[in-house]
């Protein structure tokens, strides 16, 4: 037997009428109470009467955010910013962690709680564009990231090729000539795009693109950076800089360099991508590409709200601004003398 309205009320610790008010999108419900009721509905898999006027003609005020992993500092910060942006619009965000794999992402494409939400902000990692385009669920969706996206979908991303080119150019301008890379991929994903920018900067500087100092196939975490750096050092090829394709890779790489007795940046300069908080407070602090995450969050919520209100509106492709934040891992420590 399926869950009843009373079961939802008991689980959420509210009255039967409060649950009814939430389902019928009554305005006199606090966001906190609405969130508790919706969580109980999801947990009990309660399916409201879809002929109810509120679900047939109105909106729930809930958005879904589907991200690959919440343990990633970048995605955690992004989720926080999107939650704040939604709250400013009187909306509540429900978060789904896909694991970045095909199976997890198919759950999103096949109708993630479509009876509970108005739309989805989705960052696919494993699903190609043609599968996104073939989805049968009609819930409005905005796509994030670089995995490729089908025509007709609103999309937001950083220009990864240009950003990677500029951070590699910074390393060149620091006088580095043997610039390694950790995190390259084949195909059209993030790692492939950043590899294109890296190679373009080396070509423009007249420097050799040496496949022996490009590390691929690593996990995009601290351990991946540590192992990738060890692979470079054990390979016997000289290097004087490394561009890691995200900041946690860079932090792992710095750890290995320190363990092996190398100085950063004197012996090997290190740069990352994402500008996570850990990199600002690491020692040395981390030079990185800094995407405008608050802008990304605001635009994602704006586009989804517009798509919900105007299903037939022309799709938008929004580019996220970025800056190059130069810090100690490439330019060294300042000459400030500590106070006595």
Strand partners, 95: 65
Residues 6+ apart with CB under 8 A from 337: none
In terms of DSSP H, where are the helices of the chain? 5-12, 16-23, 31-44, 53-57, 73-88, 102-109, 129-133, 160-173, 190-204, 222-234, 247-259, 277-281, 293-309, 328-331
User: Domain 5-158+294-321 adopts which CATH fold?
Assistant: Rossmann fold (3.40.50)
pLDDT at res. 9:
86
Tell me the fold of 160-291+325-331: Rossmann fold (3.40.50)
Do 5-158+294-321 and 160-291+325-331 share a fold? Answer: yes
Per-residue pLDDT of the chain (340 residues; tens, 9 = 90+): 567 777 888 899 988 778 877 876 676 788 888 888 888 888 887 765 433 433 344 577 889 999 999 999 999 999 999 999 998 888 889 999 999 888 888 888 887 766 788 999 999 988 888 888 888 888 999 999 876 678 889 999 999 999 999 999 999 999 999 999 999 987 668 899 999 999 999 999 999 999 999 999 899 999 999 999 999 999 999 999 999 999 999 999 999 999 999 999 999 999 999 999 999 999 999 999 999 999 999 999 999 999 988 899 999 999 999 999 999 999 998 654 455 4
DSSP output for 194-242? HHHHHHHHHHHTT----GGGEEES--SSHHHHHHHHHHHHHTT---SEE
> Which pTM value belongs to this model?
0.81
Cβ neighbours of 106 (radius 10 Å): 15
* Domain regions of the chain by residue span: 5-158+294-321, 160-291+325-331
- DSSP β-ladder status, 141-144 and 119-122: parallel
């Amino acid at each position: 037997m399926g869950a009843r309205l009373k079961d939802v009320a008991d689980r959420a610790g509210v009255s039967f009428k409060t649950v009814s008010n939430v389902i019928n999108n009554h305005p006199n419900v606090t966001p906190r109470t609405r969130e508790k009721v919706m969580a109980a509905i999801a947990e009990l898999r309660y399916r409201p009467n879809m002929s109810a006027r509120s679900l047939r003609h109105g909106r729930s005020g809930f958005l879904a955010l589907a991200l690959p992993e919440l343990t990633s500092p970048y995605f955690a910060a992004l989720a926080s910013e999107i939650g704040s942006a939604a709250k400013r619009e009187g909306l509540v965000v429900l978060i789904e962690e896909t694991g970045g794999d095909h199976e997890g992402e198919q759950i999103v494409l096949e109708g993630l709680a479509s009876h509970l939400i108005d739309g989805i902000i989705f960052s696919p990692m494993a699903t190609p564009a043609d599968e996104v385009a073939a989805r049968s669920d009609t819930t409005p969706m905005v796509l994030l990231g670089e995995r490729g996206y089908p025509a007709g979908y609103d999309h937001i991303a950083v220009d990864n090729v240009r950003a990677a080119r500029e951070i590699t150019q910074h390393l060149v301008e620091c006088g580095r000539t043997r610039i390694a890379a950790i995190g390259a991929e084949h195909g059209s994903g993030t790692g492939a795009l950043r590899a294109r920018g890296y190679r373009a900067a080396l070509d423009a500087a007249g420097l050799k693109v040496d496949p022996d100092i490009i590390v691929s196939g690593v996990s995009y975490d601290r351990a991946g950076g540590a192992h990738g750096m060890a692979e470079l050092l054990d390979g016997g090829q000289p290097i004087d800089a490394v561009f890691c394709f995200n900041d946690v890779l860079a932090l792992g790489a710095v750890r290995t360099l320190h363990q092996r007795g190398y100085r950063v940046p004197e012996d090997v300069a290190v740069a990352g991508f994402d500008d996570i908080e850990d990199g600002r407070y690491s020692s040395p602090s981390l030079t990185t590409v800094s995407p405008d995450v608050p802008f990304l969050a605001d635009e994602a919520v704006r586009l989804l709200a517009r798509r919900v209100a105007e299903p037939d509106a022309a799709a938008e492709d929004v580019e996220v601004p970025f800056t190059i934040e130069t810090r100690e891992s490439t330019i060294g420590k300042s000459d400030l003398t500590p106070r006595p």
